[in-house]
Amino acid sequence: MHAKLSILSSIAVLASSAAAWGIEGHSAVGHIADNLISPETKAVVDYLLPAGWNFNRSSTWADEIKGGATREKYAWASVLHYIDAEDVTPLDANATHPVECEIVFPRDSHGGMNIVDGIGNYTVRLVDPKQDWEQKSEALKFLSHFVGDVTQPLHTCAKLIGGNKFFATWENATQYIYNGRVSYFQLHVIWDVYIPQKDMNENFGGSLDAYKKWILDAVQPGGVWATEASSWIATDKPGFEWAKDTNDLNCGIVWDKDLLAGNGTATENDLAGEYYQKTYMEVRKQIAKGGYRFAKFLDDVLKGQPAGPVSSTAAATSTVAGGETTIPGSETTAAPGYPTGGPAPTDGPITSTIEVIVTPTNVPSTSQTKVVKPTGSPDTDTPVSAAVGLKSGVAAMFALAIGAVAFL
């Protein structure tokens, strides 16, 4: 087994599920898509999703299955939530080439186990008449999550494991407690949860519904992004184009030079200050892009798809282009080949090596702990009992290692 997979899976035993973009961000993406799909698309979607579900609901399913009884069954799918673009950001102090954010295949492909191919493969499965309802339903549930993840810049970035190894302070605190567990403020979780949550608290009276409504209004006729939104749609390899568009943010606003100069740890560049001020609107826009794109994408790919059971005769006689299928979202040309609920291929050409997570160079030296309960925060980071004894050395490394992959 390759290094990365084995490291991740051994840590995964200790760190269970976490919600990228948080439950709030994902459900906002879903809510926007729910409101923008055409009536014809909605009929197909209503048939394919479980009874009573919409995208507001299904958008978080792919994170939910990372825990509980489904954890092992779906463990193989966790790498489909992101793409490790091995590019050069301002973080690379010794970079030999100019700072450049880009996603390059096959460099970043990891044997097709990435979010771009994930979107491509599940799209193929969604519209393949040979697939049964369960397969198509599962494909749609995965897609409704991946279209959100693919707008989170740190899901398109290999740097410090998507920012999970970059530790910062947030409102002067270095750690937070959620469900009795302590975690450090990783850059990744700040993007996933803390930026949108602060925005919601400061500008929407803490209301997720009001936050969602603002974003939805922004992309509708007369809204602030109504005109711009049409440029968010990609017709050629949409998954790849979406990921590229998101990845660009890593070279500017995410791995901001000021932030890096202070390693995010100094009070004067606490990420809840200036960094928050210049990123919260970007987060709203990324969420808007996810919802808007998903709706337009589905209006396109679900055109003519059945909105109810198809007779077995019809299903048997319909054919998909045999052999190789061009996967709409991806860089890959291959036949649709996801396992349902795993196991996934574990011996693909995974070439990138991620070192075992040890002493981060930028762990804040102060250790104020803030007690906060973000919706959508992980509930499985460092147990308090371990954190209480956190000083340095092995225990700290162990705790940090758990935290570091919590938001992958």
Strands laid side by side in the 369-371 sheet: 369-371, 175-178, 181-184, 382-383
Nearer to ligand NAG, 14 or 107 (CB): 107
Question: Is residue 338 a contact residue for ligand NAG (CB under 6 A)?
Answer: yes
In the list 51, 93, 388, 394, the residue contacting ligand NAG (rule: CB under 6 A) is: 93
Q: Which residues on neighbouring strands pair with residue 183, listed in sequence order?
A: 176
- The residue range among 235-243, 280-288, 310-318, 330-338 that interacts with ligand NAG, by the rule CB under 6 A, is 330-338
Which tokens go with 155?
């899901």
Q: Return the biggest CA–CA distance within the chain.
A: 68
- The residue range among 64-72, 113-121, 217-225, 236-244 that interacts with ligand NAG, by the rule CB under 6 A, is 113-121
Question: Is residue 333 a contact residue for ligand NAG (CB under 6 A)?
Answer: no
Rg (CA), the chain: 21
Q: Which residues on neighbouring strands pair with residue 181, listed in sequence order?
A: 178, 383
The least distance separating ligand NAG from the CB of residue 311, rounded to whole angstroms, comes to: 28
Question: Is residue 172 a contact residue for ligand NAG (CB under 6 A)?
Answer: yes
Residues within window 43-62 making contact with ligand NAG, judged by CB under 6 A: 54, 56
Nearer to ligand NAG, 23 or 254 (CB): 23
Question: Is residue 395 a contact residue for ligand NAG (CB under 6 A)?
Answer: no
Query: 243-282 mask for ligand NAG (x: CB under 6 A)?
Result: -------------------xx-xxx---------------
Question: Is residue 295 a contact residue for ligand NAG (CB under 6 A)?
Answer: no
Question: Is residue 334 a contact residue for ligand NAG (CB under 6 A)?
Answer: yes
Which tokens go with 313?
């005769």
Q: Which residues on neighbouring strands pair with residue 173, listed in sequence order?
A: 170
The least distance separating ligand NAG from the CB of residue 106, rounded to whole angstroms, comes to: 12
Burial class (CB in 10 A: 0-12, 13-18, 19+), 389: exposed
Cα-Cα end-to-end distance for the chain: 20
Residues within window 118-137 making contact with ligand NAG, judged by CB under 6 A: 118, 121
Residues within window 354-373 making contact with ligand NAG, judged by CB under 6 A: 361-362
User: What is the DSSP secondary structure assignment for residue 166, as one 8-state letter?
Assistant: -
Nearer to ligand NAG, 268 or 304 (CB): 268
Q: How many residues bind ligand NAG (CB under 6 A)?
A: 27
* Distance (Å, whole) CA 141 – CA 144: 5
In the list 88, 113, 189, 396, the residue contacting ligand NAG (rule: CB under 6 A) is: 113
* Distance (Å, whole) CA 63 – CA 152: 15
The least distance separating ligand NAG from the CB of residue 385, rounded to whole angstroms, comes to: 27
* Distance (Å, whole) CA 328 – CA 331: 8
Read off φ and ψ for residue 240, nearest 5 degrees.
Answer: -65, -45
* Distance (Å, whole) CA 165 – CA 263: 11
Nearer to ligand NAG, 233 or 335 (CB): 335
* Distance (Å, whole) CA 318 – CA 234: 29
Nearer to ligand NAG, 15 or 259 (CB): 259
Question: Is residue 341 a contact residue for ligand NAG (CB under 6 A)?
Answer: no
Buried b (16+ CB within 10 A) or exposed e, 272-294: beebbeebbebbbbbbbbbbbbb
Question: Is residue 117 a contact residue for ligand NAG (CB under 6 A)?
Answer: yes
